[in-house]
Structure 1
Amino acid sequence: MMIRCHWHLDSGSECVLCSQNSLETSDHLFLDCPFAKCCWDFCRISWQSGNSMSDIFMKAKNDFEGPNFLEVAICAAWNIWKERNGFIFEGKRPSFTSWKVKFLGDLQLTCYRLKKEKVTRLKFWFPGLI
């Protein structure tokens, strides 16, 4: 993604979240990267191939059995992005544990804007929420 922005970083243009030496593209970073797949598995969101990102998104949403798909997917993707940026800009080693803590924290904040019954279902889906 940095190549497209014409940024040249010391870390190169490979994904910093995995050891596959894959070019960092949005598809790789958020869908194909083993680190991202681990995060999506935790959320129980499955991304299948499709003709467009819209198709991929709608298929994942329809297959998701938990509550609040959009909130969960946004918090997960945002925290994948933060793990990536933590390495690039602060030298912090990416870890699933770090991602999980940040993800659950952001999801907890999201609960303040949801109706009580949705929060109850979300807390059942993610027992780590307070």
Structure 2
Amino acid sequence: MILNYYICELCILQKEETLKHLFLRCSFTRACWQTIGISFPNTLSPKRMVSILRRTLQVPFYMEIIITMSWCIWKQKNNWLFNVKTLQLQRRFQGRFYLGYP
């Protein structure tokens, strides 16, 4: 599939959909991170954001949380885009991360 349109369809910002935007800066993505108590300024580099996530989560498996959240965001976007499914922010994310997160 070749796409000629690269604007993020998930958020209200109408920004170009880059990896950085999809996983860290999109308004939908930021709402997902906020469900587990994570928020960060939009101007930070991805490396600095990972550092903040590590410090905020304070668990040895912080990278697994980052990877799992990124995978959930990716799945939500694809389900919405290709399967015309409604975005399920609260139900999708909340129960999964509070099992091991204080």
TM-score (norm 1): 0.61
Q: 2:3 aligns with which of 3, 8, 12?
A: 8
Alignment of 1:60-79 (within 5 A): 60-65=53-58, 68-79=61-72
State the aligned residue count: 100
**What per-residue deviation string (whole Å, max 9, x for no partner) do you get for residues 70-126 of structure 1?**
22111111000001111222122323135326x71xx69xxxxxxxxxx7xx1x62x
Alignment of 1:36-115 (within 5 A): 36-48=29-41, 49-50=44-45, 53-65=46-58, 68-100=61-93, 104=96
2:35 and 2:90 in contact (8 A); partners too: no
Against the structure 1 CA distance between its residues 78 and 15, is the aligned structure 2 distance closer, same or farther, given a 3 Å change threshold? Answer: same
The code of the aligned residue for 2:7 comes to: E
Q: Which has the higher contact order (CA 8 A, sep 6+)?
A: 2
The code of the aligned residue for 2:72 comes to: N
Distance in 2 separating the partners of 1:47 and 1:71: 19
Distance in 1 separating the partners of 2:88 and 2:37: 18
Tell me which residue corresponds to 1:29.
22
Distance in 2 separating the partners of 1:56 and 1:28: 13
Identical pairs, percent: 25
Distance in 1 separating the partners of 2:91 and 2:57: 24
The code of the aligned residue for 2:30 comes to: K
Moved over 6 A (4+): none
The code of the aligned residue for 2:10 comes to: L
Gaps of 5+ in 1: 1-5, 109-118, 126-130
The code of the aligned residue for 2:79 comes to: G
The structure with the largest alpha-carbon Rg is 1
